Structure 1
Amino acid sequence: MQDVSPFQNTHSKLRLIPFTCLVIWIGWIIIQSALLWWFGTSNSNSFQDSIISGTYVGVACYIMANGLIYYLPKKDRYIYISIWGLCLTILALLATRYTIAYFIVGGDYLTAFDHTLPIRFCLIAIIIAWIATIHILWNLQQNQKENEQRKADAERLAREAELYNLRQQLQPHFLFNSLNSIIALIGRQPEEARNMTFQLSDFLRGTLRKDDQQLIPLKDELDHLQLYLEIEKVRFGHRLDTYVQYDKSCQQLLLPAMILQPLVENAIKFGLYDTIGKVTVCIEASYKGYQLEISVTNPFDSTKNAPRKGTGFGLRGVNRRLYLLFGRTDLLQTRITDNVFTSILKIPQS
C-alpha cells in the first residue's frame, strides 16, 4: 500500500472537523467542570481550568484531524501517527499548565493540577487517538471506494470496447457479399443494383447511428433488420422469404442494438447456402415472464449443412454480448427439431 493523499470528500470533512472539535470542547468543559466541582474545586477555578484545557484539547484534535485529511501513511508507518498524537498530548498539557499558572493564582491549585497530570494525559491521549482512528478509517473507506470505482470504470471501458469490437466484426463479410452482389447486378439489372446500393447505404447509416446506443426498442431493431432482409432478398431472389410476427405490446421493449442480425444471418446461411428451393426464415417476438423472447427459425438439414470454417462467430458473438450486458450465459438457446433450427433469444426487462 502506497502513501495516499485522499482528496475526495475533502470539503465535507473540512466542514465536519470544526464541528467535531467544538463538540469535544463543549463536552470537555461540561464534564471537567462537573468533576472538579464534585471534588471540591471552586466554581471559578474549575470553569477557568475547563475552558483553558478544553481549548487546547480542541486545538490538538483539530491539528490531528486536519493533518490526516491530506496524508494517510502506509500501514507500517502508523507509528508516526502515534508519535504525532503523543507530541500533541504533551504540548496540550504543557500549554494548559502554563496558561493556568498565568490566569489562576495560587500554588495549591497548581499542586493539585500536577497531581492530575497522569489522568489528564490519558484522557487527552484517548481523545486524540479516537479522532485519529476515525479519520484513518474514514480515509481507508474512501480509498477503498475510489479503488472500487476505478476498477469498475476500467471494467466498464473494457466491456464497452469488447462490445464495440464484437459489433464491428458483424459487418465486413456482409458488406463484401453485398458489394459483390451489387457488382453482379450492375451489368444485367442496373436499376436493381441502384436500389440495393441505396438499401445498403441506409443500413450502414442506421448501424452508425446505433453505435452509441446499448439498448433500443424492438420496433427500431426490426425496422433496421428489415433493411438487412431487403438486401439479402436481392441477393437470393425468390429463394428467400421472411415472416415476422410480434405483439404490438412488445414494440417498446428494449434489446441490445443489432442483436438480431447475426441470428438472422445465421438462419439464412444454413437455410439457403446448400439448397436451391425456397426457404422461409421466421422471426417471432413475445413477452414472457418479464423477458422479451425472440425466436428465429429456419429449415436445417444436418446431412447437407456441414460445418464451415469461420462459421459460428455470429452465435458466439451474440452470446458474448449478452454476457457482457447482462452477466448471464443462458439468454441464447438453440435447438434442432424435425430439421428446423431454432435460435431463442431472451432479453430481461427491468
Structure 2
Amino acid sequence: MFLNVFSNPRLGKWIIPGAGIIWFLGCFLLLRYEGLELEEAFTDAFFLAVGFIGGVGILDQVFSLYSPQGRNLWLVFLLPVLLSLLLVISHRYLLTWWFSEEDFYLEHLNNSFYLRWAVLAMAEQFVALLALVVSKLERQEELSRREAQMLELSKEAELAQLRQQLQPHFLFNSLNSINALVVAQPHKAREMVLLLSDFLRGTIRKDIQKWEVLAQELSYLKMYLDIERVRFGHRLSVEFFIGDEADTAKIPPLLIQPLVENAIKHGLYGVTGEVKIEIDCRKEGGYLIILVKNPFDPTYVGLEGTGFGLSSVERRLYLLFGRKDLIQTTNSNGFFEVQIKIPQYL
C-alpha cells in the first residue's frame, strides 16, 4: 500500500479527519482575515477541507493499487497537481452557484483561483511525498524482517543437518567396532550393543535448540565413553576437571562429544600404551570454558577422517553466536588441545 499510513484503521481514523479540521480552520481564519462574511468563509473553508480530504482519499486509492518507482516517480508530482486542479474547479463552480448573488465573494473567488490551486496542489504533493517516504521505510523494514527470518530458518536448518550428521557419524564408527568384536570377542560386542542402545535412547531425540546444563551433558558423554572403553579397554583413560559452578552452566547439546571423539581417534591411533584424555570445564567471566587435551604423535600416518568433529563444532558455534573466535586448537609438546568458549549471557 502506497498511503497505508493514512488508510491504516488505527491511524487513518484520526489522521485524515485531524488534517481536514486543521485545513478547515486555517482556510476559515484566512478568509475571515480577507474580509469575507462568516457564512461565506465557513462554507468556502468547509468545501475546501472536504476537497482536501477527498484528494487524500483518492490518492490513497490510486497509489494503493500502483506504487510508482524509478522513472514513474513523476506521477507523484503530476497526479496531485491534476487532482487539485479538478477539485478547485469543482469548488469554484459549486460556490459560484451557492453565492450567485454575492458579487464581492464571487470576485474574491475568481481572483484567488490560482492561489487556491497552488496551495492545494502543494498540500497534496506534500502528502504524496510523505506517504512515499513512509512506504519505502515500511518496505525496507519488511525486507529486513524477511531477511532476518530467512537467515534464522537457514541457521535452524543447518543446525538440524549437523545434528543429523552427528548421530550417523558416531553410529557408523560404533557399528564398525561391533563388527570387529563379533568374532574375536562376542561378549564385548553384546556389551557394546547394549551400551549403544542406552546411549542412542537418551540422545537421539534431543532437541538441538534446547540447551542442557553441563552436568546433564557430561552424563551422556560418560555413556559414550563407556562404549569407547569396550573398544579400547584399559588403554583409554579419561579424567574430568570440573570447576566451581561449571556444572550448572548451559551448553548446546552434544557439543563436547565430537571433540572427545576426535581426541580418542587421534590420541589412541599411533600411540602405544595407555592414553589419558583430559576434559577441563570451568566458568570464566561470562563464558563456560571447555578444554579437551589428548596425546598426539605428529609423525604417525594413519587413515584420514572427514574432519567432521572439529568442523561441526566450529560451525555450530558460529551459527549460534556469529563468532569464529570461540574455538582454538594448539599442538605442542606431543599434546593436542581444543578449547571452546560458550557465552552464558543468552
Partner of 1:85, secondary structure, is helix
CA change 1:10–1:118 in 2 (3 A) is closer
Q: Which amino acid aligns with 1:154?
A: M
**1:268 correspondence with 2:269:** no
Partner of 1:251, secondary structure, is helix
Quote the residue 2:87 is aligned against: 92
Quote the residue 2:122 is aligned against: 126
Q: TM-score, normalised by structure 1?
A: 0.89
Alignment counterpart, residue 282 of structure 2, candidates 270, 274, 286: 286
Partner of 1:209, secondary structure, is coil
- Checking the alignment, whether the CA contact within 8 Å between 2:283 and 2:289 is kept in structure 1 is yes
Quote the residue 1:201 is aligned against: 197
Quote the residue 2:17 is aligned against: 22
Alignment counterpart, residue 317 of structure 1, candidates 312, 320, 338: 312
Quote the residue 2:152 is aligned against: 156
Give the whole-Å Cα distance in 1 for the aligned partners of 2:2 and 2:109. 40
- Checking the alignment, whether the CA contact within 8 Å between 2:88 and 2:117 is kept in structure 1 is yes
CA change 1:291–1:223 in 2 (3 A) is same
Partner of 2:315, secondary structure, is helix
Q: Give the aligned length.
A: 344
Partner of 1:210, secondary structure, is coil
Give the whole-Å Cα distance in 2 for the aligned partners of 1:139 and 1:208. 48
TM-superposed deviation, 1:301: 2.5
Quote the residue 1:36 is aligned against: 31
TM-superposed deviation, 1:12: 7.1
1:27-61 deviations in Å (ceiling 9; x for gaps): 11211111111121112211111111111111111
- Checking the alignment, whether the CA contact within 8 Å between 1:297 and 1:343 is kept in structure 2 is yes
TM-superposed deviation, 1:264: 0.5
TM-superposed deviation, 1:152: 2.2
Quote the residue 1:143 is aligned against: 139
- Checking the alignment, whether the CA contact within 8 Å between 2:28 and 2:41 is kept in structure 1 is yes
CA change 1:15–1:92 in 2 (3 A) is farther
TM-superposed deviation, 1:186: 4.1
CA change 1:168–1:212 in 2 (3 A) is same
CA change 1:83–1:258 in 2 (3 A) is same
Quote the residue 2:165 is aligned against: 169
* Segment of structure 1 superposing worse, 308-317 or 55-64: 308-317
- Checking the alignment, whether the CA contact within 8 Å between 1:247 and 1:285 is kept in structure 2 is yes
**1:75 correspondence with 2:70:** yes
* Segment of structure 1 superposing worse, 263-272 or 204-213: 204-213
**1:222 correspondence with 2:192:** no
Give the whole-Å Cα distance in 1 for the aligned partners of 2:6 and 2:215. 48
- Checking the alignment, whether the CA contact within 8 Å between 1:283 and 1:297 is kept in structure 2 is yes
Give the whole-Å Cα distance in 2 for the aligned partners of 1:343 and 1:212. 22
Give the whole-Å Cα distance in 1 for the aligned partners of 2:19 and 2:2. 25
Quote the residue 1:65 is aligned against: 60
CA change 1:317–1:307 in 2 (3 A) is farther
Report % sequence identity. Answer: 39
Q: Which amino acid aligns with 1:108?
A: F
TM-superposed deviation, 1:212: 3.9
**1:295 correspondence with 2:329:** no
1:318-340 deviations in Å (ceiling 9; x for gaps): 22222222121111111134322
TM-superposed deviation, 1:244: 1.8
- Checking the alignment, whether the CA contact within 8 Å between 1:331 and 1:346 is kept in structure 2 is yes
Alignment counterpart, residue 340 of structure 2, candidates 342, 345, 348: 345
- Checking the alignment, whether the CA contact within 8 Å between 2:214 and 2:251 is kept in structure 1 is yes
- Checking the alignment, whether the CA contact within 8 Å between 1:68 and 1:132 is kept in structure 2 is no
Q: Which amino acid aligns with 1:298?
A: N
Give the whole-Å Cα distance in 2 for the aligned partners of 1:10 and 1:17. 7
The two structures, once aligned, show a CA RMSD in angstroms of: 2.4
- Checking the alignment, whether the CA contact within 8 Å between 1:17 and 1:62 is kept in structure 2 is no
Quote the residue 1:111 is aligned against: 107
- Checking the alignment, whether the CA contact within 8 Å between 2:208 and 2:252 is kept in structure 1 is no
Give the whole-Å Cα distance in 2 for the aligned partners of 1:308 and 1:192. 24
Q: Which amino acid aligns with 2:74?
A: I
CA change 1:11–1:41 in 2 (3 A) is closer
TM-superposed deviation, 1:18: 4.1
- Checking the alignment, whether the CA contact within 8 Å between 2:281 and 2:290 is kept in structure 1 is yes
Quote the residue 1:101 is aligned against: 96
